[in-house]
Amino acid sequence: MAVIHQTSLSPGKLELLASWLPTRTWYHGSGRPPQLSKAGGFRLDDPAGEVGIEFMVIADSSGVEPAVYLVPLTYRGGPLENAEDGLVGTSLHGVLGQRWIYDGTHDPVLVAQLIAMLAGKAQPQAQNDSDTTDLSVIVAAADIVSQVVESASVIDGADSTDIATKDGVILRVERFLRSDGVSQSPHVTAPWRLPGGTDTRGIILTARM
């Protein structure tokens, strides 16, 4: 299980994301600088214990109505080869030192664990507590077998990101979150809290072969 260190990160995650988000095709910007706050999320464990995996839900209050986004992140002790397009930034961790932070859709470790979660082989973990399963994340599991998790392509759309693996699995990561929708495909739903304090949930991931 991943150990959650209660320590500092400089610059912080929201500070890095405030610069990075407006560069994304799926960011529904207001034309003003983002005003970000944490709205939810969870983690997955890297079986090798080397890469931190976090699914951050963030709210942006810069517009007339708040917008909510899902940002999967990975935290590494060094650069990830051939993943420059996915680099969010670097930050100094109070315990682990320099960390390279990536948009996790570009990271094969995160993609592998997404597939494992959909297959019922990886359990969502609490965002802020070590060794704690997050029962609020609900997985409609499926018989997905993916031996090769290297991404053939990562394509950002207007509201989501599609990850196509080389053996045919296509994962759709919802980016602009909505508290509705149904899916007959394997999928994952998770909760978040709106800036006004309302709790809601929706689909964050779907998969197809």
Domain boundaries, the chain: 9-208
Buried b or exposed e, range 154-191, using 16+ CB within 10 angstroms: bebeeebbebebeeebbbbbbbbbeeeeeeeebbbbbb
Closest CA to 193 of 41, 40, 55: 40
Long-range contacts of 161-165 (CB under 8 A, 24+ apart): 161/26, 161/105, 163/105, 163/111, 163/114, 165/111, 165/115
**pLDDT greater than 70 at residue 128:** yes
User: In the numeric block, which tokens belong to residue 55?
Assistant: 């699914």
User: What is the number of other CB atoms lying within 10 angstroms of the CB of residue 67?
Assistant: 19
**pLDDT greater than 60 at residue 3:** no
Average pLDDT, the chain: 89
pLDDT in tens, 68-110: 999 999 999 999 998 889 999 999 866 677 999 999 999 999 9
pLDDT mean over 148-162: 85
pLDDT in tens, 139-148: 987 666 555 5
**pLDDT greater than 70 at residue 41:** yes
pLDDT > 90 fraction of the chain, expressed in percent and rounded: 65
Band of residue 166 on the pLDDT scale cut at 50, 70, 90: confident
User: In the numeric block, which tokens belong to residue 191?
Assistant: 């909760």
User: What is the number of other CB atoms lying within 10 angstroms of the CB of residue 150?
Assistant: 11
Backbone angles phi, psi at 18, to 5 degrees: -65, -30
Q: Strands across the sheet with 87-93, in order?
A: 9-10, 87-93, 97-103, 67-76, 52-60, 36-44
Which DSSP symbol is given to 93? E
Q: What is the pLDDT of residue 142?
A: 67
Buried b or exposed e, range 74-83, using 16+ CB within 10 angstroms: bbbeeebeeb
Q: What is the pLDDT of residue 25?
A: 97
Q: What is the pLDDT of residue 188?
A: 95
Task: Give the start-end residues of each E strand in 6-51.
Answer: 9-10, 36-44
CB 76 within 8 A of CB 103: no
**pLDDT greater than 80 at residue 175:** yes
More confident: 2 or 154: 154
Computed on alpha carbons and rounded to an integer, the radius of gyration of the chain in Å comes to 16
Whole-angstrom Cα distance, residue 60 to residue 62?
6
